[in-house]
Amino acid sequence: MCQPESMELPKKLSAHVFLAMITGLSCFLGMATSADAGLPVIHRGINILGYDNVWSQPNQPTFKVQDLDKIKQAGLDTVRINLRPSTLQQINLNAPWLATLDGYVTAALDRHLTVIVDYHDEDNKCSTNFDICEPKLVDLWKVMASHFHNFPSTLLFEPLNEPHEPLTDSNWNLAAETLVSTIRSIDQSRGIVIGPTGFNSLGKLNALKIPDEGNNIIVTFHYYEPRKYTMQFQPVTTQGKANYFSSWGSVLERKKLDSDMTIVATWAKNHNVQIMMGEFSVWDNVPIKSRERYLAAVADAAESHGIGHIYWQFETDFSAYDRKNERWIPQIIRAIGVP
């Protein structure tokens, strides 16, 4: 097993965790044979560069290339790079942000990490004004497909993060087909990640029409359930009040988690597609032991059902990394890293 050298690990594993290790490995191996052979199999990863100044100020990055070494050494195998909305303001092959992105993508691939490049619609303009946004997205992915055409298959594209109302299921299905077709007109074999509406909710999987008959497609969903637990202490949910709503970990809550992962895994099997959990997390101000318990349970449940998982996020908020002290937060990386 691969662990950070300085990490202090539990002296013994619970039967639940041990079972998740064994069954998760067998599920991953099974998924690798059932999914499209041209796709990398996502195991464990982390989101990076989400709120970094680097997209507008290339010479002032918070996330350094050397941080990819820490990710690799922690036993994670995938990074999901979050492109900011500002990239839609300058879409051409000479855009400074594209050179910046190229540097991170190349460095990650050199470290044998799978890379997902995700257009992260943080200002929600693509969901609220999709008629205006769609042509820009099409142009963006034309540029991306052209620039990265000769890159290895371990580079994946995710055309739009968390589509949601007022963008409807039917309109998103049409748009996803358009975006996939745009990329495939330039790069026929590039792996593409697509998720359902409802902010990539598992409850919307049945409404998703998988583009291009599932050819080299990975489906993603995000998991922040129950939100009253994962999002507590956030100003958006507490109006600034530090009011601890709930803990997590009851028998019923664990059964619900397992049921959710069973639903996802069954859906993926029925549609013969690889599926991944592209985001999961707990807000920073929730007590750390509680966060560790929840995150470990979600990661274990996903793995035991053959579902790869990508933590939100490396730093800034929901953080796994302590930038001030230049170290992993041990409880978080222990929960999301290699068991």
Helix (H) or strand (E) holding 251: helix 251-270
* pLDDT reported for residue 294: 97
Distance CA 187, CA 190 (A): 6
* pLDDT reported for residue 263: 98
The domain segmentation of the chain, as residue ranges, is 15-336
Q: Which CATH number applies to 15-336?
A: 3.20.20.80
Distance CA 183, CA 139 (A): 10
**Which residues pair with residue 274 across a beta bridge?**
218
pLDDT in tens, 96-115: 999 999 999 999 999 999 99
* pLDDT reported for residue 58: 84
Instruction: Write the CA distances from 276 to 101, 211, 294, integer angstroms.
Output: 23, 16, 18
* pLDDT reported for residue 236: 55
Helix (H) or strand (E) holding 47: strand 44-48
Instruction: Write the CA distances from 33 to 40, 236, 298, integer angstroms.
Output: 11, 43, 24
Phi, psi of 124 (to 5 degrees): 65, 15
Distance CA 195, CA 219 (A): 5
Which residues in the chain show pLDDT less than 70? 1-37, 234-245, 339
pTM: 0.87
